[in-house]
A = this chain, B = another copy of it.
Amino acid sequence: MAAETSDAEAQAGPDEEAPGSTKTVTLVFQPTGRRFQVPEGEVLFEAATEAGVEVDTVCGGNGSCGKCKVRFDDDPPAATPLDYIHLSGGEIDQGYRLSCQVKATHDMVVHVPESGDSAKVQILHQGVERAIDLQPNVRKMFMPYVNPREVENIADWDRVTMRWPRTLRPRDVPLRVLRELPAAIRNKAGMTVVTASRRAIAFESGDTTLRQFGVAFDIGSTTVVGFLMDLATGTEAAVASAVNKQAVYGDDIIGRLSRAQRNPEGLAKLNAMILEQLNAILADLAGQAGIDVSDIYEVTVVGNMAMHHFLLCLDSTYLGLAPYAPVTRAHVATTSEAIGLKLDPDVPVYVLANIAGFVGSDTVGVMLATDISGGNDLRMAIDVGTNGEMVLGNRKRLIACSAPAGPALEGARIKMGMRAAPGAIDHVWIDDDVRYSVIGDSAPKGICGSALIDIVAQFLDAGLLNHAGAYIRHAELDASVPKSLRERLIEGEKRRDTYFILARAEEADGEHDIVFTQQDVREMQLAKGAIRAGTMMLLQEMGLEDGDLEEVMLAGAFGNFIDSTNARRCGLTPQLPVERITSVGNAAGVGAKIALVNVTQRRRSERMAAQTEHIQLSGSPEFQKAFTVAMQFPKS
């Protein structure tokens, strides 16, 4: 009920009431300077919205989104509990308040930030960007000190809960945290209440609302990555990664599963190894960002089903035997103490839901990151890893499968393979000679996954490899193959001893050439064959052909972004126009980050996981047939 007033009217003064009407006050909205008369007591957000002044909102003014902040330069109203939850201490000092919490009790000049100023998290800084609202599970609220002797006979816990809006009010508190409350609430510096899932998990001295971090883990069979997210701002504060040490028990999942099978000590060992790595990454992340690990309040995790079992120390025996039953495929909401992370014991750990079989929460992470269920377009996401997982579908139907690709595309089982770390050749171009880029712009030390795809695709185009994956003998090379390439192709006595010199020793460490062997081609062929066969099975299940796909998204923690043209050329992907093949980087990790910063997306991931159908490939004769076909390279 806001009525825009002319300047003349406004100048008549707000104290002059229109006869017969309720008392009104004047609101001036900056930067436009528009003026409105509104009934006294009207909620500012409502008044602005009705007057057509655009104030950001997600929740529509019920106090849960924190988007509708406005600034008062003079005499800001008292900050409410919701202000403390949604705004930083600095913003409150600057006069920012949530407009849905302010009543127009007197004439006010209100600065409305431009729409979009409020924090959206650019969650994928590489690859596909997706703006996610900052809506973390962890909440903090500062409670200024009040002498308890001056308050009524109110239980300490009631003083905590009464300050929160109903929808965010903590409902529960672990006993050991509750035991800290009497001292904390009487701390002269005030106290910050930390909640997660509406459970109070800490009472901290002073105002710590700006110190609020979470970690998203992507546990791959080969690579483990941790992302430190600033939950107060939604920005990424640090990244750390490491090779999964479990690889000593097998570089693929099967070897590790058999290690753990009916062998509690094997499982305990695998569990201890991953925990040790996660704890090291936590310390590394905190060190990089200059924070304390006690500033980390929540952890989310994605990983395939085997990593999930090893992390949670769940007996994986039956996961490794037909019919491949996991212990659970539901999301697991537990604590750092229960799981064994070196954080405060009540820090919540949220392991995303799995789909079925070996298709784990990493795939759910990819689905979240690519928003694959967001529309009607039929899209496919392929997570290229030691196990390749594929999802196909749209908002109506989703199907997924996994195929044992082996670790080649993560750099393992490749003679000069390495993971995507400084020194890794990550992209290769071939024209008259070989050109390549190196991560960190240093001298090359080895080859990572994204380069493998470039190499094979371009060797095929250059006439160095035939479509069965064999190096062509010098004698049979086409005349068009330039001399510089011929000189790099070193023929062995046996065909399998043939190799190609990508970088000569003098460009590298001075001692060893960086080579790509016939065996390396075979390894790459097995990996891409398994993945391609999986995609064929999914398309067949839905009765589709390659061309029916609107988009194929390539994801993986296997290094830098895959070159789409090369991925198509070597037959890793369905054969589509190249503009419909995109590379989305470590989408599983992005999914873990999204679940960390936004609880609505987290809930959505649970539904997606439950709704996705799983196609069991292991033991399927159709898959074996498809695999044989898919091992070949396309003829062009």
Contacts and interface: CB of A to CB of B under 8 A. Distances in A.
Interface of A: 148-149, 151-158, 172-176, 178-179, 181-183, 186, 312-315, 317-318, 321-330, 332-334, 338-339, 356-357, 614, 616
A445 to B, nearest CB: 41
Residue of A326, A328, A330 with most partner-chain B CB within 10 A = A328
A157 B329 contact: yes
B175 A312 contact: yes
Contacts of A154: 325
B328 A616 contact: no
Contacts of A181: 327-328
A555 to B, nearest CB: 24
| Count of this chain's copies in the oligomeric assembly | 2
For the complex of A and B, 7 pairs with smallest distance between CB atoms:
A157-B328, A182-B315, A155-B329, A153-B323, A155-B326, A175-B338, A156-B327
Contact of A155 (B151, B157, B327): B327
A481 B528 CA distance: 110
8 contacts: A148-B318, A153-B357, A155-B325, A158-B328, A175-B334, A175-B338, A181-B328, A182-B314
Given A179-B314, A317-B182, A333 B153 contact: no
Nearest to A318: B182
A239 to B, nearest CB: 28
Nearest to A181: B327
A183 B316 CA distance: 11
Nearest to A351: B175
Nearest to A161: B330
Contacts of A357: 153
A152 B323 contact: yes
Contact of A338 (B151, B176, B186): B176
A155 B322 contact: no
A183 B315 contact: yes
Contact of A156 (B158, B186, B326, B616): B326
A329 B158 contact: yes
Contacts of A333: 172
A555 B506 CA distance: 95
Contacts of A616: 153
B149 A315 contact: no
Residue of A176, A322, A330, A333 with most partner-chain B CB within 10 A = A330
Contacts of A182: 314-315, 317-318, 327
B178 A327 contact: yes
B356 A153 contact: yes
A330 B182 CA distance: 15
A473 to B, nearest CB: 47
A226 to B, nearest CB: 21
A148 B326 CA distance: 11
Given A182-B318, A318-B182, A327-B182, A332 B175 contact: yes
Residue of A172, A326, A333 with most partner-chain B CB within 10 A = A326
A589 to B, nearest CB: 23
Given A153-B357, A155-B325, A327-B156, A178 B314 contact: yes
A312 B177 CA distance: 12
Nearest to A313: B179
Nearest to A315: B182
Contacts of A321: 149
B323 A155 contact: no
A326 B152 CA distance: 11
Contact of A179 (B153, B315, B614): B315
Nearest to A267: B179
Nearest to A324: B153
A164 B80 CA distance: 44
A69 B616 CA distance: 42
A149 B323 contact: yes
B338 A156 contact: no
A181 B317 CA distance: 12
A338 to B, nearest CB: 5
A94 to B, nearest CB: 35
Contacts of A148: 318, 323, 325
Given A149-B323, A178-B314, A182-B317, 14 more contacts: A149-B321, A151-B325, A153-B324, A155-B328, A155-B356, A156-B328, A174-B338, A175-B332, A178-B312, A178-B327, A178-B328, A182-B314, A182-B318, A183-B315
A332 B183 CA distance: 19
A203 to B, nearest CB: 11
A317 B183 CA distance: 10
A152 B326 CA distance: 11
A423 to B, nearest CB: 40
Contacts of A178: 312, 314, 327-328, 332
A364 to B, nearest CB: 14
A389 to B, nearest CB: 16
A61 B185 CA distance: 49
Nearest to A312: B175
Contacts of A151: 323, 325
A181 B326 CA distance: 11
Nearest to A150: B323
Contacts of A153: 323-325, 356-357, 614, 616
Nearest to A614: B153
Contacts of A334: 174-175
A341 B139 CA distance: 32
Contacts of A155: 325-330, 356
A148 B330 CA distance: 19
Contacts of A614: 153
